[in-house]
Structure 1
Amino acid sequence: MAVYTELSKPFLKELADDYGLGRVTSASGIPEGSVNTNYLLEAAKGKFLLRLDEVKRENELKREIDLLSFLRKHSFPCPHPMQDRMGRFYRNFNNRCVSLFKYQEGKVLAPARLKPSQLETIGHTLGDLHVIGKAYKKGIDNRFSFERIADLYLTVRSRLPNYFRKICRTLDDEVEYLTRYLESKLPKGVIHGDIFADNLLFRGERLTAMLDFDAACRGKFIFDIATAVNALCFVDGAYSLDRFRYLLSGYESVRTLSLAEWDAFPNELRFSSLRFTVTRLHDFFLQPVDGKNRVDKDFREFFDRLRVLRRERQGGMEPLLMAMATGYDYRKYQKVKATERRQA
């Protein structure tokens, strides 16, 4: 959501006319984020979010809009894509796809400010996404699968400066480890892929919107949960067991994790950390962007998590592992499975 592309006044007027927005009084770039260009439009008919896709191709954007439309029909709190007077969900500007969304009220809270009730709400909403998404039968390619991240790392590695040698040794070892131990045969479906605090809007205790489905795809549910844990439960350099429990309690109130998922949890945390370390390194070293507009997210945030998960430094990993080892309630799981059979 950085500002990489400047909009022209004629284009904004054409857009406002086609969407029936009335006169645009303000178009301000939103500096947060690192992938797409976003503007907040204020017009006679209200506030709107304009997005220019800097990475996705047209067919990928079509799939994202189709998924969002499906989720909206099921009352899931997500962005609301708008159609213009011709029924179009997007158009072209400087070889980039431009889409418009209704502005959604709410505040982004820093991870450390999220209350237990809000963490439970996030877990519950993520569980809702996974359950609702089971009815979505269209395929969505996973741009961030382990195989693709491993390939991306090889590309990035060849371009890193010499002072990254120690970091590269750690990442080399992690890729080799996950190649051998990452489990692929786990429950899959529609996942968000990027559950960070700045993609969640709250009004008081209510989560009004889960934003930024740019990385949404068909993937492992446990990876989605692991990313949420990495993003929301790692505070002041360590994993918080209490935050982990609140988040998982909310999630399991909707969908119970299987034993295989609990077993895979530690490695999925590691893969999530690797994924964001590598993509952030790629964005910094391989994406040529004008420095004044560029928004770089520090790869060290997730590299530090990876070191904790690899037990190379302290950071609350042992209590987390114990919670995962004892978190699987076999009796609860059997009860859920019995209910599912009766409903079938």
Structure 2
Amino acid sequence: MQMATEDQLVREIAGWLKKHYPAEMLSTERIRRGLMNEKWIVESDKGRLFVKSYHPKRYKMHDLEFREKIETALQLQLLFYQSGGPCPEPVTLEGRCMHILPCGRYITVMTCCPGSMVPAGMIGEQQMYSLGRASAEMHVVWDLAAASGSGAAVPPEELHWRLSHEEMKRTWEAGWDAARDASERVRNALRLQKSIIDSLGDDDLAPSTAGWSHLDLWADNLLFEGDALAAIVDFDRARYSFPTLDLGRAVLSGTLNEQGFRTGAVLAFIEGYRSVRSLPKGALLKAIKYVWCVESFWWIRPSLESFSVVPTRFAEEMIHIAEQWEQLDDLLGDI
């Protein structure tokens, strides 16, 4: 399939909006964030909209099973919005949130939310409280929908991101082999990674409760107005996994800076979460460790030192957690 140009995409999006929304496109502003997928803020005579085009080199959109996973994630976003949750409203057509243009590209269209991003590591205490509360509300909505057998929320047979020692060891060995010519910093990070893998017990690889999870609650996917969370965005990765992963990712992104975890912001997040949903002591510690088990293989890589800004932030989080692994129980175990 010939790759559509940006002008062609904008024209076809304008035609889709006029036919199906219906709205007249007045102007577009390209958002150049994220990897490959094209995104726009669209000014229309019906208000501001957000449009994302899924790039075929980023996502396997020719694969029906994969498309359905993204459609399910968007349906979960719609459920959260309909419950009053702070997130954009996906525009549906014949009950679906993903739409196809004449050129063959798949798109989503949704309302725009107010607010602005806060840099990673700098989200304030009241903001973290608000995020914790909203995260718990999101999990409750999805748990109730799953329990009632509601549409997209019916749990699949397989859990996403279930780990095993054997898989982790194989992945580490492949990374170590590829890092023969890497810097000493990278090789030291890999050595530390291996020592942690060898120390893991079964309990570290088994978060207690499965459920629908956003799986991408990091700073760039959060909008704030003052001290309050305005919106959670980008639900594309939402899968049936372990909701505690959302806690770990949010706390890492929101509260970890060069000096370590900002304890007040960590406690505020957990307080907000517990104001809606019970959370046993030690759950955050387990969540942080599980996030590391999943993500450290993405970011601790031979190419680490050539990363751009965003991957570098994730790699630094993984290295910091690895370096502090033995101290994590004292830092987070009583929360």
Q: Give the TM-score range, shorter chain.
A: 0.7 to 0.9
Which residue pairs with 2:6 in the alignment? 6
1:144-170 Cα deviation digits (max 9, x unpaired): 443598476666665556214333323
Taking the TM superposition and a 5 Å limit, the aligned residue runs for 1:1-344 are 6=6, 8=8, 9-20=10-21, 22-34=23-35, 36-53=37-54, 54-55=58-59, 57-84=66-93, 88-92=96-100, 96-137=105-146, 138-139=154-155, 142-147=159-164, 150=168, 159-160=178-179, 162-163=181-182, 164-178=186-200, 180-184=202-206, 186-259=208-281, 262=282, 265-280=284-299, 297-298=311-312, 299-311=314-326, 317=327, 321-322=329-330, 324-327=332-335
How far apart in 1 are the matches of 2:106 and 2:174? 27
1:119-162 Cα deviation digits (max 9, x unpaired): 11111111111222211221256544435984766666655562
Percent identity, aligned pairs only, is 18
The answer as to whether partners of 2:121 and 2:253 remain within 8 angstroms in 1 is: no
1:7–1:274 distance in 2 versus 1, CA, 3 Å? farther
- What amino acid maps onto 1:238 in structure 2? G
Q: Which runs of 5+ in 1 are unaligned?
A: 286-290, 312-316, 328-344
How far apart in 2 are the matches of 1:142 and 1:5? 37
1:166–1:10 distance in 2 versus 1, CA, 3 Å? same
Q: TM-score, length-normalised on structure 1?
A: 0.75
Structure 1 residue 55: Cα displacement:
2.2
The answer as to whether partners of 1:34 and 1:296 remain within 8 angstroms in 2 is: no
The secondary structure found in structure 2 opposite 1:48 is: strand
How far apart in 2 are the matches of 1:248 and 1:5? 45
1:254–1:296 distance in 2 versus 1, CA, 3 Å? closer
Q: TM-score, length-normalised on structure 2?
A: 0.77
- What amino acid maps onto 1:269 in structure 2? I
Give the aligned length: 306
The answer as to whether partners of 1:21 and 1:46 remain within 8 angstroms in 2 is: no
How far apart in 1 are the matches of 2:189 and 2:258? 22
The secondary structure found in structure 1 opposite 2:279 is: coil
1:216–1:43 distance in 2 versus 1, CA, 3 Å? same
Deviates more, 1:26-35 or 1:207-216: 26-35
Which residue pairs with 1:338 in the alignment? none
How far apart in 1 are the matches of 2:160 and 2:36? 14
Which 4+ stretches in 1 moved above 4 angstroms? 93-96, 140-143, 151-161
The answer as to whether partners of 2:207 and 2:244 remain within 8 angstroms in 1 is: no
Which residue pairs with 1:330 in the alignment? none
The answer as to whether partners of 2:192 and 2:323 remain within 8 angstroms in 1 is: no
The answer as to whether partners of 2:221 and 2:232 remain within 8 angstroms in 1 is: yes
Structure 1 residue 234: Cα displacement:
0.5
The secondary structure found in structure 1 opposite 2:40 is: strand
- What amino acid maps onto 1:55 in structure 2? Y
- What amino acid maps onto 2:87 in structure 1? C
